[in-house]
A and B are shown apart, each in its own frame.
Chain A
Amino acid sequence: MRDKEKSKKLRELAESLVAFAKAKGADEAEISILDGYEFGVDVRMGDIENLVQAGSRLFSSRVIKDKKTAFSSSSDLSRETLQKLLENSINRASLANPDEFSGLPPLLRKKIDISALELFDPEIPELDSKRKIALAKETEKIALEDKRISNSHGASFGTKEIKTLFANSNGFLQEYVQTSCSLSLGIQAGGTDSKVEDYWFSAKTHFKDLETPEQIAKKAIERTVRQLNPRKIKTQMVPVIFEPMMTSWLLGFLFACVSGVSIYQKTSFLTNKLGERIANERITVYDDGLIPTALGTRPFDAEGVPCQKTQVIDKGILKNYLCNTYAARKLKLRSTGNSSGVGVSPNNFYLEPGETSPKKILTSLEKGLILIRTIGHGLNPVTGDISRGAFGLWVEKGEIAYPVSEITISGNLGEILKKIDIVGNDLDFRSPVSGPTIKVQEMTVAGK
């Protein structure tokens, strides 16, 4: 009951602030209010290290006057502060330049069925603190019982409940609550001067879908110990298998290159490529904001545009850029429901899986590298160039021979997309940007 009253109060606050901005001279105004609760526990060496619990709120606004835009945000939700911020915004807008592409999205009278998205798990707010702490402890304990594990970065369990409320001067007023929970573990193996480390995690909107402490621990152990006693390899061109986490990393870079913002800014190598072949026929990529229970699902984006399923690449042909309203107007396209507030962000951005199992991909490889981790930066969307520090497993005759470290992989996203010759069947939506195992015909691996 109290929740309903609180909700009503926040709704009234948002609506009255939209009206206030209009009354003070704004042509258009949008307000969003996030009201969240978080719990987090970090456990290390069997004991609690950090325990955090808190509620927090965030107000954000955009006002437009004479086609000039100003943003503001505040963690102080007193009406007095927010009204002052809106007044400041309207004054500040007059110092910006008019931009014919600015403005709120038109109100789409599209029915949004929020409950069908299953974003809220009633079990999460009810979880007992002791149980949450026990999950983290249990996960770490399983790993520490393994003699090969020499140290722990700790295990963490966290939950979040976030209410998103959104109102604008075109008459949009909607809210939804999204829950999430996550369990993770980071560990080390080997002696002081031959340490290797890795981690594993599971994150879900529903508690029942979360992987068990045993699954997380086993996977973290496997990922860590397989790196022990690495060798250096010579610089060479070889086929490279990307594990799902690495495909996800590559897709994160692809997202940056198909984002409508980088397209209109001409900072992407995929500018002016709509309708052209940019990958081979094995590659089909979607952004889908409506997959029930998925982490990147939301009913509408940060400017109130309903989310949708957008085909980005269809069998190698670039079909759509992912746009917020502003980028869409610049490019004479339509918003795809990808606004993050000021820019664009992925919903569930994924590479459609193929039919080959990861095991079969490995056995088909005569000689090459399995890419297991990358570190550092080294992505250039302007050119598509990639250069990253990497860790891998060397493969000979379809079998893992030994781990390799101190290598870098280099290539170009545009070329890689054309050289992916196998797409695996193991897509698991572990994160909002995700893909299955893939094999790239050839990449430069630099070593000694």
Chain B
Amino acid sequence: MKNRTSLTYKDHFHIPHGELQKILNIALSRGGDFSEVFLEYKTYNLINMEEDIIKETAESISLGLGVRVLSGEKTGYGYTNDLSFEKIKKAALTAASIASDRTIRNASPLSSTPIHHNFYPVKRPIHKEKLERKITLVKKAYLSAQNFNPKIKKVKASFIDQIQHILIVNSEGLVASDVRPLVKLVCVAIGEKEGKREAGFSGGGGRIGMEYFVDLLTPEEIGREAAMEALNLLDAVEPPAGEMPVVLSPGHSGVLVHEAVGHLLEADFNRKKTSIFWDKMGKKVAASQVTIFDDPTIPYFRGSYNIDDEGTAPKKTLLIEKGTMTGMLQDRLSAKLMDKELTGHGRRQDYASIPIPRMSNTYIDKGEYTPEEIIKSVKRGFYASKYQGGQVEDSGKFTFSVSSGFLIEEGKITAPVKQATLIGTNIGVLKSIEMVGSDLEFGLQTGTCGKEGQEIPVADGCPTVKISRMTVGGLK
């Protein structure tokens, strides 16, 4: 990093507009509808604490550029991490090879349109903080978990921060750039009791500054929460098995919305008709209490961005309104082929990846019941509180691994339960949502979503939700 005070793309990419314009034209030299250059410079820092010592630190630099050409439904893509004009030209020619048209068009002249919003208005940028201060955060989280209870036998804490500079130019004349911070502090605590071991996890972060760890979530709270989960699990009983009413905890259960609904409303799966939702626009797909948004504009959130990875300003997108499917998440290619408006959901892992429709911050909007009313309504059921992850198929079948939950007996939350699995089909579950709580919360700001091998940061949320029946997998 040569110049920390003025972090514009020019400091990192050293490529004048005129040259980028040339590359866009080379990319269109065999025809095609659209060409684009995506430049990325990302630095990443990691601190690991384990066995009471700061065990290692790491620093990574990722610098590179991807050239994309769209020709009808086809995409040509070349990338390079050598930013010499010759190598960029080669990447452009690779991308160009997808097209073979008689008429060749030229790229429009480039003109910057400044953006007037900033969804990460941080006060103390983390990439400018000294390593020592980040180490202090890790130590605080670590010690807080370790000292919480003598049954905590082992702790791991990590701090990861990165800053990503991107510049996008395309043949429509667009020039757009963004500088995105991303931070997380995570802690794993392992408890032991009578030879039994269980792990608890917690963390926090987002596109935030150092002030977050003072004002919003302290490292001590993160450590404590990881320890508490481990202790809870030590007393946990085996999960029940079979069909039963399931209550989803607020916040963490957002992963269910993400997996069971969000993915299948990504436009590419609907354009290709592989998603179960492809013919359901305007139709009832969920109980009428259910309203679902994807919103990339929530300040400081992990899934937020000022522009998407195609340079489009993002929009809060209504996916399901009172049970009816109303929207999808679009990228340029799908929006064009489906003749729809852009929503600003074209995202990519890095310069070596083709952008595809992705979620940002996805959530079920709040409903009318108090969480107490919801739990009280269940005679015997399962309360899912935290998850290890989830997965969905285009056919709508999904599973969630519940790392910790509780039994509900006679309208009350009782014994802690470990390692259960929820399974179902998305429309089946959406239609059996019986009650939606008024307590909308978001899960830990540590989540990553994988699709077609590309990992991107996301967030999700929901209020307390009751599903009338769902299959719970367990041992009993």
Q: Give residues in A with beta carbon < 8 Å to B.
A: 44, 47-57, 69-77, 81, 85, 88-89, 92-93, 95-99, 151, 153, 188, 192-193, 195-197, 235, 265-267, 269, 342, 375-378, 380, 382-383, 385, 387-389, 405-411, 444, 446-448
Q: Flag if A71 contacts B57 (CB, 8 Å).
A: yes
Select one of B57, B58, B73, B79 contacting A95, CB under 8 A.
B57
Q: Flag if A448 contacts B471 (CB, 8 Å).
A: yes
Q: Flag if B397 contacts A71 (CB, 8 Å).
A: no
Of A71, A342, A376, A409, chain B has the most CB atoms within 10 Å of the CB of: A376
Select one of B59, B74, B475 contacting A410, CB under 8 A.
B475
Please name all residues of chain B whose beta carbon is closer than 8 Å to the beta carbon of A375 when the two chains form the complex: 391-393, 397-399
Q: Mostly helix, strand, loop or mixed at chain B's interface?
A: strand
Q: Flag if B132 contacts A77 (CB, 8 Å).
A: no
| Given A54-B79, A197-B393, A378-B401, A407:B59 Cβ within 8 A | no
**In B28-65, which residues have CB < 8 Å from any A CB?**
46, 50, 53-64
Q: Flag if A188 contacts B278 (CB, 8 Å).
A: no
Query: In the complex, what distance in Å separates the CA atom of A275 from the CA atom of B390?
Result: 36
Q: How far is the CB of B348 from chain A (nearest CB, A)?
A: 12
Q: Flag if B473 contacts A76 (CB, 8 Å).
A: no
Select one of A81, A99, A265, A376 contacting B61, CB under 8 A.
A81
Q: Flag if A85 contacts B61 (CB, 8 Å).
A: yes
Which of B91-99, B112-120, B291-299, B313-321 interfaces with chain A?
B91-99
Which of B406-414, B420-428, B436-444 interfaces with chain A?
B420-428
Q: Flag if A71 contacts B272 (CB, 8 Å).
A: no
Q: Flag if B190 contacts A382 (CB, 8 Å).
A: yes
Q: Flag if B421 contacts A376 (CB, 8 Å).
A: yes
Q: How far is the CB of B295 from chain A (nearest CB, A)?
A: 26
Query: In the complex, what distance in Å separates the CA atom of A52 from the CA atom of B196?
Result: 49
Q: Flag if B60 contacts A446 (CB, 8 Å).
A: no
Query: In the complex, what distance in Å separates the CA atom of A391 from the CA atom of B274?
Result: 19
Please name all residues of chain B whose beta carbon is closer than 8 Å to the beta carbon of A98 when the two chains form the complex: 53
Select one of B53, B81, B197, B239 contacting A387, CB under 8 A.
B239
Number of B residues, CB within 8 Å of A = 79
| Given A193-B276, A267-B190, A389:B391 Cβ within 8 A | yes
Q: Flag if A92 contacts B198 (CB, 8 Å).
A: no
Please name all residues of chain A whose beta carbon is closer than 8 Å to the beta carbon of B79 when the two chains form the complex: 52, 54, 56
Please name all residues of chain B whose beta carbon is closer than 8 Å to the beta carbon of A47 when the two chains form the complex: 73-74
Q: Tell me if B289 is interfacial: C-beta within 8 Å of chain A.
A: no
Q: Flag if B474 contacts A387 (CB, 8 Å).
A: yes
| Given A97-B54, A389-B399, A383:B352 Cβ within 8 A | no
**In B326-371, which residues have CB < 8 Å from any A CB?**
352, 354
**CB-CB nearest in chain B for A82:** B61
Please name all residues of chain A whose beta carbon is closer than 8 Å to the beta carbon of B243 when the two chains form the complex: 448
Q: Flag if A55 contacts B80 (CB, 8 Å).
A: yes
Q: Give residues in B with beta carbon < 8 Å to A.
A: 46, 50, 53-64, 73-82, 91, 94, 97-98, 131-132, 135, 153-154, 156, 190, 196-199, 239, 241-243, 272-274, 276, 278-279, 352, 354, 388-401, 418-421, 423-425, 427, 471-476
Select one of A55, A93, A195, A409 contacting B473, CB under 8 A.
A409
Given A377-B388, A382-B198, output 14 extra A-B contacts at Cβ < 8 Å.
A50-B77, A51-B77, A70-B58, A71-B56, A75-B63, A85-B61, A95-B132, A151-B274, A153-B272, A265-B154, A267-B190, A375-B398, A377-B389, A410-B473
Q: Flag if A378 contacts B471 (CB, 8 Å).
A: no
Select one of A71, A97, A192, A377 contacting B278, CB under 8 A.
A192
Query: In the complex, what distance in Å separates the CA atom of A364 from the CA atom of B157?
Result: 50
Q: Flag if A49 contacts B73 (CB, 8 Å).
A: yes
Q: Flag if B241 contacts A195 (CB, 8 Å).
A: no
Q: Flag if A56 contacts B352 (CB, 8 Å).
A: yes
Q: Flag if B61 contacts A387 (CB, 8 Å).
A: no
Q: Flag if A57 contacts B81 (CB, 8 Å).
A: yes
Q: Flag if B57 contacts A92 (CB, 8 Å).
A: yes
Query: In the complex, what distance in Å separates the CA atom of A188 from the CA atom of B276?
Result: 11
Query: In the complex, what distance in Å separates the CA atom of A351 from the CA atom of B393?
Result: 29
Q: Flag if A195 contacts B394 (CB, 8 Å).
A: yes
Please name all residues of chain A whose beta carbon is closer than 8 Å to the beta carbon of B81 when the two chains form the complex: 56-57, 75-77
| Given A265-B154, A375-B398, A387-B419, A96:B279 Cβ within 8 A | no
Can you pick out 23 interface pairs between chain A and chain B where the beta carbons lie within 8 Å of each other? A48-B74, A50-B77, A50-B354, A52-B79, A53-B78, A70-B58, A75-B81, A81-B61, A92-B131, A95-B132, A95-B135, A96-B57, A195-B394, A266-B190, A267-B199, A342-B58, A377-B389, A378-B388, A407-B471, A410-B474, A411-B475, A446-B241, A446-B471
Please name all residues of chain B whose beta carbon is closer than 8 Å to the beta carbon of A193 when the two chains form the complex: 276, 427
**CB-CB nearest in chain B for A60:** B60
Please name all residues of chain A whose beta carbon is closer than 8 Å to the beta carbon of B53 when the two chains form the complex: 96-99
Please name all residues of chain A whose beta carbon is closer than 8 Å to the beta carbon of B97 when the two chains form the complex: 51
Query: In the complex, what distance in Å separates the CA atom of A93 from the CA atom of B56?
Result: 8
Of A76, A197, A387, chain B has the most CB atoms within 10 Å of the CB of: A387
Q: Flag if A197 contacts B473 (CB, 8 Å).
A: no
